[in-house]
Amino acid sequence: MSELFMILGFALAAYAIVANDSIQTLGTFLASNAKRPWWTMWIWISGIMVVTVTWGWVSNGGDPAFGRLAAEGKNVPHPFQYGGVFTWLFVLPPLALVILTRMGIPVSTSLLVLTAFKGMVAFQQGKDPKSAVDLFTSMMKKSLVGYAIAFALGLLIFYLVLAVFERKIRAEREGKKPRNELHPGWMVFQWLSTGFLWSMWLVQDLANIFTYLPRTLSWWGLALSLGGMVLLQGYLFREKGGKIQKIVTKKTNTLDVRSATFIDLMYGIVLLFFKVDYIPKLFEMMDMTVPWPQKMPMSTTWVFLGLLAGREIGIALRLRHRGKKKVTNIVFSDAGKAFFGSVIAVLLAMFLPMIAKFSGMVPVEPPEPAAIEESVEVSEQAAPVPATPQE
């Protein structure tokens, strides 16, 4: 039964994370290629996913999550590692994520799934579930810095550099200027920038999906999990992204290949910046307190929303095509939904251990130190005495 809940948790997490977070990564790609056959995009994106996950699995000794589940200050062990079991409570976080995704709410999967999972693991180990809140705090700190950097980048780049470009796109879309046939190079540039972004996103968010599977996967375990993820990706492309896609399509010019390309490229650059962990490394070089440990996961949702918010404000300030009230409503509406998802993450992390306690579940008791010493003595007594060498 424990293995069944483990597989169910992985399946729900994979579906919800692919449908929620990856749309925030692939949304502009889907929006600007809506007239293309869905399977062409599916083959390209799935191929990159297979290569990235396999690379992570090979380079990290069988861990496709790029070591993020064992990061210092995070340490989210698999229940089987300490003699724990999967119960129905472990399935609730990804189930909640599925429901929120179907409602069109851009939830941070890192904050929700990992924080709630950490809370249940802490309970089973007999530790304080508040350690999950500590994990949430570190991830949220990194995510908010990511939001700020992405917001500033989007605001400055689109206000100072790309606003004129966006004005031309908008004029073409409204029929005020003749729309010439796009150079094929734009399509190539967009598919390459999307591939770069997609691989950077996977490095950050694979921990959310693989948290339900053993920390070291066999080759057949990797093949089965990848097969399921590829099929889910195909369903997503066939459904054209679902409700979360509205977060992207309501923004200015996101249906245009050129504008979508710049969004993907800048988003990928920000994720690459955090993948290399420049900020904690800089703090270590200066002998300052590190704000978060290296390899600490972050919410790519907050980074994405920060970039779109900065871009939307930058374009609005230059083009003045939308009133301040409308732009403000869009920005705060998206941030409010993401904040709501963060609150759900903390509540799940705190209440799931309480539910487990009231339902009669007990923490996994580690062996007593005396028992360990006794077993060591017995093993030493049972060990064969090496023969004295004869001269």
pLDDT, tens digit, 9 for 90 and up, residues 164-178: 666 666 666 656 555
Q: Is residue 369 part of a domain?
A: no
Q: Give the pLDDT score at 322.
A: 61
CA distance linking residue 24 with residue 104, whole number of Å: 12
Q: Supply the pLDDT for residue 367.
A: 45
Q: Tell me the residue type at 316.
A: A
d(CA 194, CA 261): 7
304 band by pLDDT with thresholds 50, 70 and 90? confident
Predicted local distance difference test score (pLDDT) of residue 366 = 53
Q: Which structural domain range is residue 144 located in?
A: 2-361
Distance CA(338)–CA(336), nearest Å, equals 5
Q: What is the C-alpha radius of gyration for the chain, rounded to an integer number of angstroms?
A: 24
Residue 174 lies in a domain: yes
Average pLDDT over residues 61-88: 80
Q: Span 243-269, mean pLDDT? A: 67
Is 372 among the domain residues? Answer: no
Q: What is the mean pLDDT of the chain?
A: 78
Cα–Cα distance for residue pair 297/138, rounded to 1 Å = 9
The fraction of the chain above a pLDDT of 70, given in percent, is: 77
Mean pLDDT for 10-39 is: 78
Mean pLDDT of 308-315: 80
104, two tokens: 């069109």
Torsions phi, psi of 271, nearest 5?
A: -65, -35
Q: Please, are residues 97 and 20 in contact by the beta-carbon 8 Å criterion? A: yes
Residue 54 has pLDDT above 90, yes or no: yes
275 pLDDT more than 50: yes
Q: Is the pLDDT of residue 287 over 80?
A: yes
Tokens representing 165? 């470009």
End-to-end CA distance of the chain: 60
Residue 375 lies in a domain: no
The dihedral region occupied by 253, where left means phi > 0, alpha psi between -120 and 50, and beta the remainder, is left
Amino acid at 294: Q
Could you tell me if residue 6 is inside a domain? yes
Helices 38-59, 219-238: crossing angle, 10 deg rounding: 150
Q: Answer for the pair 297, 68: CB distance below 8 angstroms, yes or no.
A: yes
Residue 298 main-chain phi, psi, to 5 deg: -140, 165
Q: Comparing 387 with 36, which gets the higher pLDDT?
A: 36
Measure the CA–CA gap between 296 and 216, rounded to whole angstroms: 19
Of 124, 95, 275, 279, nearest in space to 201 by CA = 275
List Cβ neighbours of 43 (8 Å cut-off, separation of 6 or more).
none
User: Which tokens go with 315?
Assistant: 């374009």
The count of structural domains within the chain is: 1
pLDDT given for residue 170 in this prediction? 63
Is the residue at 383 inside a domain? Answer: no
Q: Has residue 388 been placed in a domain?
A: no
Percent of the chain at pLDDT > 90 equals 12
| Residue ranges in the chain assigned as alpha helix (H) | 2-32, 38-59, 92-102, 109, 115-124, 130-160, 163-173, 184-210, 219-238, 246-249, 257-275, 278-285, 300-319, 324-358, 369-382
What are the Cα distances from residue 85, in Å, to 113, 170, 275, 364? 17, 55, 32, 9
User: In the predicted model, is pLDDT for residue 73 greater than 90?
Assistant: no
Task: Work out the average pLDDT over 22-37.
Answer: 76
377 in any annotated domain: no
